[in-house]
Amino acid sequence: MSGDHVSVAKALYQLDFYLEQIDAPFDIYDLYEEAYRELRGKYYDESWLDHLDDHPHVRESLDENFTLQTIVDALLRTGHEPVVRALMRSFRREQISVTQRFIDGASRQKGRP
């Protein structure tokens, strides 16, 4: 993985963590599907999301300080506006109010309290 691919993977990994923390009824798989299934048709593939934490830089991204804004910025910068749109639609649909909270991932591991 290199450059933008790492940035996208880190942003999605952080977003997955964020959604877990707010107990969202949807996850990155739902967002990715909403964003790309129709657009990519028979070429749609989300299986790479299963391997986000295979890369050490991605796993370590939870040790970085991040907010929903830094996640969204990374997705927009790397051309993943459809995922951001799907996220905003999901927030509206589920009536989740978005507040900027600083998330300090230091010493946290994904999936652990």
Q: Over range 47-59, report the average pLDDT.
A: 93
Alpha-helix residue ranges (DSSP H) falling in 41-80: 56-59, 68-77
For residue 51, what are the contacts with CB-CB under 8 A and spacing of at least 6?
none
Q: Write down the pLDDT at residue 4.
A: 78
Looking at residues 2-29, what average pLDDT do you find? 91
CA 109 to chain CA centroid, nearest Å: 16
Q: Work out the average pLDDT over 78-99.
A: 91
Contacts of 27 (CB under 8 A, 6+ apart): 16, 19, 20
pLDDT at 107: 45
- Report the chain's mean pLDDT, rounded to a whole number: 87
- Average pLDDT for 69-93: 95
Structure tokens at 96: 């989740």
Q: What is the pLDDT of residue 99?
A: 63
Neighbours of 64 (CB within 10 A): 13
- Amino acid identity of residue 34, one-letter, is E
Amino acid identity of residue 20, one-letter, is E
Contact status, residue 14 vs residue 52, Cβ threshold 8 Å: no
Pairing of strands 103-104, 65-66: antiparallel
**pLDDT value of position 87:** 96
pTM of the predicted structure, to 2 decimals:
0.82
